[in-house]
Structure formats: C-alpha cells, structure tokens
C-alpha cells in the first residue's frame, strides 16, 4: 500500500470536528501543502475553527528516515511552542506521537488511509493527564 499524504508532495483540504477541553464541538476547515526537498519535507497550511473564527497557521519540518517507514518532525505552534514528534507507518495507518519541547504537552494522531485521496485523522493533545483538545478530520487531495 502506498501512502499519498506526507510521502508524496501535494495539496490537501481539511474538514472535520474539533473538541476543546470541555468537549465543546467546533467545525474545523483549512488547507495543507506538503513539499519535498532533498533532505527534508515541509508541511504548511492553516486551520480555522468555524464557530470561534480562531485560526492556526502550521509550518512543520519532517526528516524522513532512509528506510522510509519512519520519520521525525518538528513544528512551532503559537501558545504551545515547539512540538517534536515521530511518524511510523503500519499498513494503511500512519501513527504520530509528539511532545512539546518543555515536556508540558504530549499527544498523538492516527492517519488512516481511506483511499488514494482521503485520510481520516484522529488525535488528541494533552497537558499532563488532561485533554486540551481532540479532533476528527478528513484530509482530501486538491490536486
């Protein structure tokens, strides 16, 4: 099975659901662009929470492994600082776990391939044992 998100350059639309620490639901939408350079890959884009209008811009750098089944990544997020994580491939899923550089936040996300053009992404961000937010979104190619 060949993964298309992250492992190939491309543009993706984002649409789904976001839950805050009190489990209040908001719609989320946005876009992501994956770009490959010889030593690193880059994921950039923006997400917006529909009801509150809050916007988050993403700029992440991925360092792929030579074997292709894993990678490390980093991303700076306003309010959280620098996040560092890893990616691992397992069949139709890609798993990512991460933590903030100061150790205050941790999280995980599972990317499930639902076809060549669609991924379901489910994840959460924690501070200690408390959930800060969680999400269920779909990524769709826009090429």
In the predicted model, what is the mean pLDDT of the chain? 92
What is the per-residue pLDDT across 24-43, written as a single tens digit (0 to 9) for each?
999 999 999 999 998 899 99
DSSP 96-141: EEEEETTSSEEEEEEEEEEETTEEEEEEEEEETTEEEEEEEEEEEE
- Burial letters for 106-136: b for 16+ Cβ neighbours within 10 Å, e otherwise? bbebebebeeeeebebebebbeeeeeebbbe
**Least reliable range by pLDDT among 21-30, 67-76, 96-105:** 67-76
Task: Enter the tokens of residue 72.
Answer: 């490390």
CA distance 136 to 16: 6
CATH number 1.10.8.640 is the correct assignment for the domain at 10-141: no
pLDDT band (50, 70, 90) for residue 2:
confident
What is the per-residue pLDDT across 99-136, written as a single tens digit (0 to 9) for each?
999 999 999 999 999 998 999 999 999 999 999 999 99
What residue ranges do the domains of the chain occupy? 10-141
The full length of the chain comes to 143
Average pLDDT over residues 9-22: 96
Query: Position of tokens 């009190």?
Result: 22
For the entire predicted model, the pTM comes to: 0.92
């Amino acid at each position: 099975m060949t993964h298309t998100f992250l492992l190939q350059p491309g543009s993706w639309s984002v649409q789904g659901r976001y839950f805050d620490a009190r489990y209040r639901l908001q719609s989320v939408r946005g876009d992501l662009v994956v770009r490959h350079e010889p030593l690193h890959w880059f994921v950039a884009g923006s997400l917006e929470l529909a009801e509150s209008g809050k916007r988050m811009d993403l700029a992440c750098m991925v360092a792929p492994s030579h074997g292709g089944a894993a990678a490390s990544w980093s991303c700076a997020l306003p309010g959280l600082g620098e996040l560092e994580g890893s990616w691992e491939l397992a069949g139709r899923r890609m798993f990512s776990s991460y933590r903030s550089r100061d150790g205050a936040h941790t999280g995980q996300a599972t990317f499930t391939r639902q076809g060549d053009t669609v991924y379901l992404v489910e994840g959460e961000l924690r501070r200690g044992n408390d959930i800060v937010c969680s999400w269920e979104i779909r990524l769709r190619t826009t090429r």
